[in-house]
Amino acid sequence: MPSATYARRTVTVNDEGFFEEPDQWTEEMAPEIARTAGIDELSEQHWRIIKFMRAEYAEKGTGPTVRVLGKTSGVSIKELYELFPKGPAKTAAKIAGIPKPRGCI
Amino acid sequence: MTKRIVILGGGTGGTLSANRLRRVLSTDEAEVTVVDQDNEHVYQPGLLFVPFGLAHLEDIVRLRQRQLHQGITYVCSAVDHVDLDAAEVHLENSSTLTYDVLVIATGAILVPEETEGLTGPGWMEKVFTFYSPEGAAVLEAALATFDGGRIVVNVVDMPIKCPVAPLEFCFLADWYFTERGIRDRVQLTYVTPLDGAFTKPVASKRLGGMLAEKGIELVTEFNTGSVDGAAGTLTSYDGRVVAFDLAVVVPLHSGAAYVGRSPGLGDELNFVPTDEHTLQSKVRPNVFVIGDAANVPTSKAGSVTHFEGEALVENIGRYLAGEALDASFDGHTNCFIESGFGKALLIDFNYDTEPLPGRYPSGVGLPLLKESHLNHLGKLMFQWLYWHSLLPGRDIPGVSSQMPIHGKKQELSRS
Ligand SMILES: Cc1cc2nc3c(=O)[nH]c(=O)nc-3n(C[C@H](O)[C@H](O)[C@H](O)COP(=O)(O)OP(=O)(O)OC[C@H]3O[C@@H](n4cnc5c(N)ncnc54)[C@H](O)[C@@H]3O)c2cc1C
């Protein structure tokens, strides 16, 4: 398993950089992960989504898809793409320190 | 005392579970009632062939009630909502059914109106879908008069029924225009939200390779935000544009609308939270789920629904007898992928094992992940098996509910 270092701590990630163990994540890590994903500054809206992702993961064992995020987070899909241009579900999951959303088969 | 089992939906899953339940439980033990909103049972895999004139609607539709065995009550009405606390189903015809066990088998519906512009100008004129009987029939006429330009096949987002069907549509379109002698004037493009042709790595590579061989362009990670039928464009949420002369769109899917009207029954997309192995719902112990209505992590397919039947019926029997549920569904999925020119591929997988090459169900069986004429015959045979084995709730000889492992080339598996 590859690892990465954020906020001076080593964490386990998969090939694509998604956390394998969400418990290793701390809030201080988020801005650093965000920069690696091309987001220089985390706004309040970003944080709202990051917290939402972690809560959903804790409850359901997988992060939500973009469509579910658009229906449940209170932020529209259009705005979600403005916040996370490279794909809201994946980028937000990465910054929130949860595994890659399982998506659908 | 006689128990009341109410099954909502008389499609693939509702019909096969009613017939299986009727066989294992006597009429003294249980009443079995099936509710559906209409009396036309469509063999949905046949819809793929309609646009190419290879099947006609009248060949793939039969009376719903006829597929239900003796001793099963059929009620023709739409469900308005379920009251989980009272264990009651309220129907649109104003009557109420009470149940000891409820089976949700109402499948998935198309929600094209959720995508901006999709049902606006050009819908059913320039922008089509083959996922509904009406759509497939209108598309047949449109393809017959199409004599050149760019056809775009687009999946808006997962989950969809039979995730290989849009790929099969591309392969058949390649064959269709070759037959008509105008393939060089038709550009085919497959536009998907996935990062490859399919979800699972080995199959995705193989299917991606087939698209390239057939000269079908592949556009990946495209999340369709809007469709403009008049201008002939698809626009993704991240601002990319794909132009078309004719678009074939697989719209977003949801669970049935009444699920959303039933407090506590569904998730955000109106699918029902379900234990992926026992098929008992997570919302109430006396509610079970089969087929596309469940939120289990496997394909929404008739083959899956068929394989689920065995565990579902066993577990309902155990639940009624007050025993622990021990029948377990492994996520087994088995799909023929029609690839045009009288050939097809076969893929077979479950929750833990992705589709692998080899042979099915054993070393001397049908070739897996490889084009062959035999698999095409298998695909055609599936229609006969659907009416004569699947729906009556019989096991298919040589095809078990659990995924077989011998005959498969394991070393190609990644993890
Ligand atoms: C184009 C296409 C190609 C396909 N190809 C394949 C294939 O090759 N292989 C394969 O295995 N699968 C294929 N499938 C998928 C397969 O048809 C479905 O997965 C299967 O039919 C699911 O069964 P089900 O019982 O869950 O739902 P369905 O068979 O769709 O039944 C749901 C039933 O519920 C009823 N209903 C819904 N809402 C209400 C309500 N409010 N009140 C009353 N009744 C209601 C509906 O009328 C319907 O009869 C394909 C599907 C499509 C669309």
Mean pLDDT, residues B270-278 taken together: 97
Residue B154: name the closest of B200, B211, B210, B194 by CA. Answer: B194
State whether A71 and B268 contact (CB < 8 Å).
yes
- Using DSSP, state whether A54 is helix, strand or coil: helix
Distance CA B250, CA B130 (A): 8
Query: What was the pLDDT predicted at B200?
Result: 84
Contact criterion met (CB below 8 Å) for B305 and B12: yes
Predicted ipTM?
0.84
Write out chain A residues lying below 8 Å of B223, CB-based.
66, 87
State whether B252 and A67 contact (CB < 8 Å).
yes
Distance CA B50, CA A40 (A): 51
Minimum Cα–Cα distance from A77: chain B residue = B237
Distance CA A19, CA B227 (A): 35
- Work out the percent of chain A whose per-residue pLDDT is above 70: 97
Distance B41 CA to ligand 1 centre (A): 9
- Ligand 1: atom nearest CA of B303 is 11
Secondary structure tally for chain B: helices H, strands E: 8, 24
Query: What was the pLDDT predicted at B364?
Result: 83
Query: What was the pLDDT predicted at B395?
Result: 85
Distance CA B141, CA B57 (A): 13
Query: What was the pLDDT predicted at A95?
Result: 97
Which of B161, B303, B307, B375 for a ligand 1 pocket mutation test, highest count of atoms within 8 Å of Cβ?
B161
For the segment B335-373, what is each residue's pLDDT rounded down to a tens digit? 999 999 999 999 999 999 989 999 999 888 899 999 999
Distance B199 CA to ligand 1 centre (A): 21
Domains of chain A: 3-95 (1.10.10.370)
Minimum Cα–Cα distance from A82: chain B residue = B238
**Considering only residues 270 to 329 of chain B, which have any Cβ-Cβ distance to chain A shorter than 8 Å?**
297-299
List Cα–Cα distances, A13 to A3, A51, A95, A102, B344, in angstroms.
5, 19, 12, 15, 39
Q: Which of B157, B238, B252 has the CB atom closest to A85's CB atom?
A: B238
Distance CA A72, CA B137 (A): 36
Question: What are B243's two structure tokens?
Answer: 């132009």
pLDDT-derived band at B414 (thresholds 50, 70, 90) equals very low
Query: What was the pLDDT predicted at A1?
Result: 75
Amino acid in position B366: L
What sign has the CA pseudo-torsion A36, A40, A41, A45? negative
Which of B16, B35, B36 for a ligand 1 pocket mutation test, highest count of atoms within 8 Å of Cβ?
B36
- Ligand 1: atom nearest CA of B41 is 49
Q: Is the CB of B256 under 6 A from ligand 1?
A: yes
Question: What are B254's two structure tokens?
Answer: 């949801």
CA–chain centroid gap for B180, Å, is 30
Strands, E assignment, B290-341: 333-340
CA–chain centroid gap for B402, Å, is 19
Same fold, B3-51+60-107+256-320 and B112-253: yes
Write the burial class of residue B363 (CB in 10 Å: 0-12 exposed, 13-18 middle, 19+ buried): exposed
Domains of chain B, by residue range, sit at 3-51+60-107+256-320, 112-253, 332-415
For tokens 């059913």, the residue is: B124
CA distance A15 to chain B (A): 13
Residue B6: name the closest of B62, B111, B77, B108 by CA. Answer: B77
Question: Which are the contacts of A53, defined by CB distance < 8 A and separation ≥ 6?
Answer: A63, A64, A92, A93, A96, A98
Query: What was the pLDDT predicted at A103?
Result: 64
For the segment B285-342, what is each residue's pLDDT rounded down to a tens digit? 999 999 999 999 999 999 999 999 999 999 999 999 999 998 899 999 999 999 999 9
For the segment B221-264, what is each residue's pLDDT rounded down to a tens digit? 999 999 999 999 999 999 999 999 999 999 999 999 999 999 99
* Partner B contacted by A77 (CB < 8 A): yes
Superfamily (CATH H level) for B112-253: FAD/NAD(P)-binding domain (3.50.50.60)
- Ligand 1: atom nearest CA of B48 is 1
Distance B12 CA to ligand 1 centre (A): 6
Distance CA A54, CA A24 (A): 13
Contact criterion met (CB below 8 Å) for B248 and B241: no
Strands B79-83 and B88-91: antiparallel
pLDDT-derived band at A105 (thresholds 50, 70, 90) equals very low
User: In CATH, which of 3.40.640.10, 3.30.300.30, 3.40.50.2300, 3.50.50.60 is domain B3-51+60-107+256-320?
Assistant: 3.50.50.60
For the segment B402-413, what is each residue's pLDDT rounded down to a tens digit? 898 888 887 554
Residue B189: name the closest of B156, B169, B220, B217 by CA. Answer: B217
Query: What was the pLDDT predicted at B410?
Result: 72
Write the burial class of residue B201 (CB in 10 Å: 0-12 exposed, 13-18 middle, 19+ buried): middle
- Ligand 1: atom nearest CA of B335 is 9
Write out chain A residues lying below 8 Å of B159, CB-based.
104-105
For ligand 1, atom 31, the nearest C-alpha belongs to: B11
For the segment A37-62, what is each residue's pLDDT rounded down to a tens digit? 999 999 999 999 999 999 999 988 88
Distance CA B369, CA B350 (A): 15
Distance CA B5, CA B34 (A): 9
Mean pLDDT over all residues of chain B?
A: 95
Query: What was the pLDDT predicted at B415?
Result: 38
Q: Which of A64, A77, A102 has the CB atom closest to B237's CB atom?
A: A77
- Using DSSP, state whether A92 is helix, strand or coil: helix
Q: Is the CB of B45 under 6 A from ligand 1?
A: yes
Minimum Cα–Cα distance from A68: chain B residue = B268
Distance CA B166, CA B48 (A): 9
Position A5 pLDDT exceeds 90: yes
CA–chain centroid gap for B269, Å, is 16
Q: Which of B221, B269, B298 has the CB atom closest to A105's CB atom?
A: B298
Distance CA A69, CA A65 (A): 6
Query: What was the pLDDT predicted at B72?
Result: 98
Query: What was the pLDDT predicted at A20?
Result: 94
Query: What was the pLDDT predicted at B86?
Result: 98
